[in-house]
Amino acid sequence: MDYEEFARLYKQEVGVPFLCNVRPNLLNQDKIKCLKKAGCVAVTMAVESANDYVRNKVLCRNLDLKVMSDAIIALKEHGLRVYTQNIIGNPGETFAMAMETFNFNVMHGVDFAECFLLTPFYGTEIYENCVKNNFLEEGINMDNMPQSYWLGSCIKFSSLKEKDKFINFHKFFSFGVQHPYLLPLIKIFMKLSPNKLFVLFNRFYDSWRITRVIRVKMDIITLLGVVKMNIKYIFGFFLKTDSHSKL
């Protein structure tokens, strides 16, 4: 794609501020300048994991950490907000490895660090890897995979206590990145049993945080609509008992 032409035509014919997905190793200064010129206000970038082993051996990203770091720095230097996507609870991942991902986001001051619990969907390489290496919990297969990567996990952990720790950390990951000084409090929450209140907090906080990334200004009617949508979503699914977690 001719980015210069895109920037000119988009600004001329559309002119609406936008958010787009980017892959860090395909970015350079010229492309970033063109995105900014076109009206891009924020980008979504998949970090997945800041741990080299998890990112490249388990998730097969084939990305150097410095490439991701340089991309985030360049985007922010040009005034673009950065929305990262991260995965924790990966096969063989320790909590220390997950903290590398958390600290990477904190260090770069990302505007929103969305987090998911790994769900190895059938037909993906990670699913085949989990089956081959016995990483799935007993009884989990393609027919009864958890319905949401926001709720629980079907990955085997060293203990139930460790699993609960990951599930709870996920609920406060994005909040903690924005408020790292509260990490000691979050670590206390991680010692508790996963519960519906944590799920509720996570869904509302993340929904609000996205609006801050794209700087959405809402009138009262729109705001009430968003609240209604989230309440319906949460009570319709997230607060149901899930057979693969204690939520």
Owner of token pair 């990477």: 104
Which tokens sit at 219? 């009138």
Q: What is the DSSP letter of 193?
A: P
CA distances from 15 to 36, 96, 118, 139, 150 (A): 12, 44, 37, 52, 34
* pLDDT tens by residue, 20-69: 999 999 999 999 999 999 999 999 999 999 999 999 999 999 999 999 99
Q: What is the average pLDDT value for the chain, to the nearest integer? A: 88
* 221 CB-near residues (< 8 Å, 6+ apart): none
* Residue reference for tokens 């037909």: 123
Instruction: Write out the H or E segment, with its range, that includes residue 113.
Output: strand 112-117
Walk me through the domains of the chain, giving residue ranges and CATH numbers: 3-238 (3.80.30)
Does residue 244 have a pLDDT over 60?
A: no
pTM greater than the 0.85 cutoff: yes
pLDDT of residue 138: 81
Quick one: DSSP state of residue 117? Answer: E
Question: Which residue has better confidence, 178 or 223?
Answer: 178
Longest dimension (CA), the chain: 57
3-state helix, strand, coil in the chain (%, to 5): 55, 10, 35
Mark 199-228 as b/e (b = at least 16 C-beta within 10 Å): bbebbeebeebbeebeeeeeeeeeeeeeee
Helices vs. strands in the chain: H and E counts, helices first? 10, 4
